[in-house]
Structure 1
């Protein structure tokens, strides 16, 4: 089966850093409470920058890293639950700003925090039918504008940012993906706050935690089985950066080596669909993703969606 290769990554993080102490001025919480329950020390909030601004900046960096030009892009996909408009899609705005060819399809994916993983499989499908060799996949969120600072259980968790990857088909880079959905709209989501037209995040924290620590280990196991690999064959496990306690629970439950799990939630908080591509770009920047390196990326999100993917570098 034809696989995919990630040939370039990029990220864009808004300049404004919001510490836990600053969050404590907006809601009834404190630095110790946030750190001990989430592992988060700070997050970044956009100041006037749109989702399309973040997505385009990350995409430009990924394309530069890949050494490709706009006329080589065969599809443009943005995973997000915080688009600038109901329509048009963020991807169409990125398409225009990057001057991609008119025959390049552009669309958004709304699968919550699992969006980037869904996007890998969708991008591969488009590439199998494309006349051009590369796909642009971006996870981008401006979550700060849908936070409810009266709800300390959610407002302390999230941050803004974008991560991007340039993909191409490859017979020498196997790709395995496992995707799923429980079909739930009550546990986690973003809807209009009661009596208003303002959208706000809602979450049943204890139930989401339970879902995550049960689902992620199963997803890792299912992905490994489908790929016909053992845990020893994986160099890095890249979990969706939602909460340090969730990742720690996954490590305990799976008995996998802690040093194989990449962690950066302390710097960014939960950036939803952007968290995995931001992590991958950091890893690439640090020289961790050498040719032949295998990463197993796994995530979960509203919907309730989940997904795992083995990507070989």
Structure 2
């Protein structure tokens, strides 16, 4: 686990999200494979997931999420000098999704790249954003998690087709003022490449997952990782206001909370209404909580992404936003 003395200049100052209108309900899946609503909810907690329309791509979702952010926070559109998009489902190998976002919002002279770290991608992109701000070259970094996983889903595989959905979330990360300390307090990351056989894209372009092995891995590494973040920052679990894990499976989140001795009510999730949206799941959970008025400036939260790679990435931060 990579843990070093952490320095931050980063503050989250704006947020937005987007999910496609089209829904895939559990009842819809009953007509495709041998499953039912009761089994899906009992095993995963998922009630529905969103699906991109025909011809709607990951870049479309990412752009819509950023447009939502700018509608709420108009000043956010000015001075963006870097765009990072975490995704495993880019429209094509190139141009990048980030470059298409740059064109759509007119962010001239912006550094724009895609980041591929699967379900850990959004948190990894936040860590990278902090590094860009520390360089002093950048001041405003747009960080996006966007996925169209339904395009990679095999709807004849009952074990995986119930899980995945499409969506996008975006945050603006700005450099703190010269007399301020950044709100990112601690970070860690780790990759176990030998575990890549448990979640991968096959030659047909479909997601293949050994859910049992991923579950066992996550229940070990995520609680350890969260405790490590708190130790780095000199905090305890009692100080934590919110835990925001990758929303892979509601039952997995509940089990991780039990391992951490956290009440499930402290976990923010997006999986019930959106399914597993990989790199988009954490920003979707944050934005849902923001819209519900749950997030207050000064609250301490642990973001934790984990998934294919096997890759994990954690970030401890103070929430600094107030409602627009």
The answer to whether TM tops 0.5 is yes
Match of 1:177 in 2: 187
Match of 2:117 in 1: 111
Specify every segment of 5 or more residues in structure 2 that has no aligned partner in the other structure, as ranges: 1-6, 320-324
**Cα distance in 2 for residues equivalent to 1:305 and 1:133:** 28
Match of 2:107 in 1: 100
**Cα distance in 2 for residues equivalent to 1:204 and 1:141:** 20
Choose which of 175, 192, 201 in structure 1 pairs with 2:203: 192
Cα deviations by residue, 1:208-252 (Å, 9 ceiling, x for unpaired): 111111111111111111121111111111111110110111111
Match of 1:27 in 2: 33
Q: Give, in angstroms, the shift of residue 132 of structure 1.
A: 5.0
Cα deviations by residue, 1:179-224 (Å, 9 ceiling, x for unpaired): 111113211021322xxxxx00001111011111111111111111
Match of 1:63 in 2: 70
Cα deviations by residue, 1:93-126 (Å, 9 ceiling, x for unpaired): 1111111112x11001100000000000111112
Q: Which has the higher strand share?
A: 1
Choose which of 304, 308, 311 in structure 1 pairs with 2:314: 308
Choose which of 53, 58, 65 in structure 2 pairs with 1:51: 58
Mapping for residues 142-157 of structure 1, pairs under 5 Å: 142-157=148-163
**Cα distance in 1 for residues equivalent to 2:132 and 2:69:** 19
**Cα distance in 1 for residues equivalent to 2:133 and 2:21:** 34
Cα deviations by residue, 1:108-152 (Å, 9 ceiling, x for unpaired): 110000000000011111223355521100000001111011211
**Cα distance in 1 for residues equivalent to 2:304 and 2:34:** 32
Task: Note if 1:135 corresponds to 2:145.
Answer: no
Match of 2:22 in 1: 16
**Cα distance in 2 for residues equivalent to 1:264 and 1:84:** 23
Number of positions where the alignment pairs a residue of Structure 1 with one of Structure 2: 307
**Cα distance in 2 for residues equivalent to 1:130 and 1:61:** 28
SS in 1 for 2:280: helix
The answer on whether the counterparts of 1:63 and 1:166 sit within 8 Å (CA) in structure 2 is: no
The answer on whether the counterparts of 1:79 and 1:116 sit within 8 Å (CA) in structure 2 is: yes
Cα deviations by residue, 1:19-57 (Å, 9 ceiling, x for unpaired): 001011112211111111100011000112111110011
Choose which of 208, 233, 245 in structure 2 pairs with 1:227: 233
**Cα distance in 2 for residues equivalent to 1:202 and 1:144:** 13
SS in 2 for 1:68: helix
SS in 2 for 1:7: strand
**Cα distance in 1 for residues equivalent to 2:269 and 2:80:** 31
**Cα distance in 2 for residues equivalent to 1:96 and 1:312:** 32
**Cα distance in 2 for residues equivalent to 1:308 and 1:63:** 27
TM-score (norm 1): 0.94
TM-score (norm 2): 0.91
Mapping for residues 257-268 of structure 1, pairs under 5 Å: 257-268=263-274
Match of 2:98 in 1: 91
Q: Supply the RMSD in Å over aligned alpha carbons.
A: 1.4
Match of 1:196 in 2: none
